[in-house]
Amino acid sequence: MAVYTDVTEPDLSAFLERYDLGRLLSYKGIAEGVENSNFLLRSDKGTFILTLYERRVARGDLPFFIGLMEHLAGRGLSCPLPVPARDGTALGELAGRPAALFTFLEGMWTRHPLAADCRQVGAAMARMHLAAADFPIRRENALSVGAWRPLYEACGGRADEVAAGLGEEIQTELGKLEAAWPSGLPAGVIHADLFPDNVFFLSGELSGLIDFYFACNDLLAYDLAIALCAWCFEPDQSFNVTKGRALLGGYESVRPLEREEVEVFPLLARGAAMRFLLTRLYDWLTIPDTSFVTKKDPLEYLRKSRFLRTIESVGDYGVDVRVGR
């Protein structure tokens, strides 16, 4: 479970004195998530999420993440809204960690997404891209194409422990991605991790997006390619054309893709599969089995990567796209 840091009641009460939240009624750790420690907290004023930022989140990035959520919520996107302390600041310190409070979002994530869910996710992502267009802070993508080879090298030549021949397969694919990776396409703030566990639904309606801690500036279509990998494959890792069509159609109902984005989309999807293959591989090889973190399976993304390498044009997915308008 992801509660790395214990929070004592006196420490929490002292932290909350900076806020106007009334009396603390209860708090408990939330098991889900990997990166940070999250607590569900109830006070006289309602229910909140308390996040303690752990070591993988750089302190210098917190103004970007928190400012982005404020910005998006201010433009009507349903996402956690940072709760300011009485002095107007949203970021404090608790148990030696940077910490912030957020509004609680109703809803649950879905373990079995339907095509209708994918459509809503696509539309919500496009709305997010448009809403973030005038967000003034920049954050480079620390996990874009230039970071993949160093990440592979940090695995210390141990990829073949996970699957025979994996090291060579990754290096060949990395070479192709590095040589062909595009620039000059529409870019802006992307979520960069819009997986099913970061999207809430309530009675079949998308109720909000969470976990903006990989958000950064990058190609907008790359965000959509990440979502294609995360939402449009079945548990046996076969590609679901109906879901792919729904995701891209949902996106284009809000922001039609440009011709260049469509042309390069299959490559972006291969890159997305490589990014998650590599981060999972690194975690698989470096996080001790005794840790309470559930490691995610790198081979899921190897299978997706292999499928995506067979695709040459968006039409090969069985998906129609409207190019521009």
Ligand X SMILES: N[C@@H](CCO)C(=O)O
Ligand Y SMILES: Nc1ncnc2c1ncn2[C@@H]1O[C@H](COP(=O)(O)OP(=O)(O)OP(=O)(O)O)[C@@H](O)[C@H]1O
d(CA 191, CA 214): 6
Q: Using the rule CB under 6 A, is 276 a contact of ligand X?
A: yes
Tell me which residue of 59, 139, 46, 58 sits closest to 101, measured CA to CA. Answer: 46
Q: Residue 2: which of ligand X, ligand Y, none does it interact with, CB under 5 to 8 A by kind?
A: ligand Y
Q: Residue 296: which of ligand X, ligand Y, none does it interact with, CB under 5 to 8 A by kind?
A: ligand X
Query: Do the beta carbons of residue 87 and residue 18 sit within 8 Å?
Result: yes
Using CB under 6 A as the binding rule, the residues of this chain from 58 to 97 that contact ligand Y are 80
Q: Which is nearer to ligand X, 236 or 312 (CB)?
A: 236
Q: Residue 307: which of ligand Y, ligand X, none does it interact with, CB under 5 to 8 A by kind?
A: none
Min dist. Cβ of residue 312 to ligand X (A): 26
Query: Do the beta carbons of residue 201 and residue 231 sit within 8 Å?
Result: no
How far CA 27 is from CA of 4, 23, 43, 92, in Å, comes to 15, 12, 9, 18
Q: With CB under 6 A as the contact rule, which of the stretches 102-110, 115-123, 244-252, 272-280 interacts with ligand X?
A: 272-280
d(CA 67, CA 90): 9
**Which of 12, 30, 147, 163 is the binder for ligand Y (CB under 6 A)?**
30
Which residue has the CB atom at the shortest distance from ligand Y? 33
Min dist. Cβ of residue 322 to ligand X (A): 29
Q: Using the rule CB under 6 A, is 49 a contact of ligand Y?
A: yes
Q: Using the rule CB under 6 A, is 147 a contact of ligand Y?
A: no
Tracing tokens 């521009």 back to the chain, one arrives at: 324
**Which of 34, 130, 147, 163 is the binder for ligand Y (CB under 6 A)?**
34
Using CB under 6 A as the binding rule, the residues of this chain from 178 to 217 that contact ligand X are 193, 195
> Is the torsion defined by CA of 45, 202, 79, 229 positive or negative?
positive
DSSP three-state, residue 102: strand
Q: Classify each residue of 260-275 as buried b or exposed e, where b means 16 or more C-beta atoms within 10 Å of its C-beta.
A: ebbebbbbbbbbbbbb
**What's the per-residue H, E or C state across 301-317?**
HHHHHHHHCCCCCHHHH
Q: Which is nearer to ligand X, 75 or 295 (CB)?
A: 295
Measured distance between the N- and C-terminal CA atoms of the chain, rounded to whole angstroms: 46
Q: Using the rule CB under 6 A, is 2 a contact of ligand Y?
A: yes
Q: Which is nearer to ligand X, 240 or 279 (CB)?
A: 279
Q: Using the rule CB under 6 A, is 129 a contact of ligand X?
A: no
d(CA 118, CA 13): 41
Which residue has the CB atom at the shortest distance from ligand X? 195
Q: Using the rule CB under 6 A, is 149 a contact of ligand X?
A: no
- Binding-site ranges for ligand Y (CB under 6 A): 2, 30, 32-36, 38, 49, 80, 102, 104-105, 197-198, 210-211, 213
- Binding-site ranges for ligand X (CB under 6 A): 34, 193, 195, 276, 279-280, 296
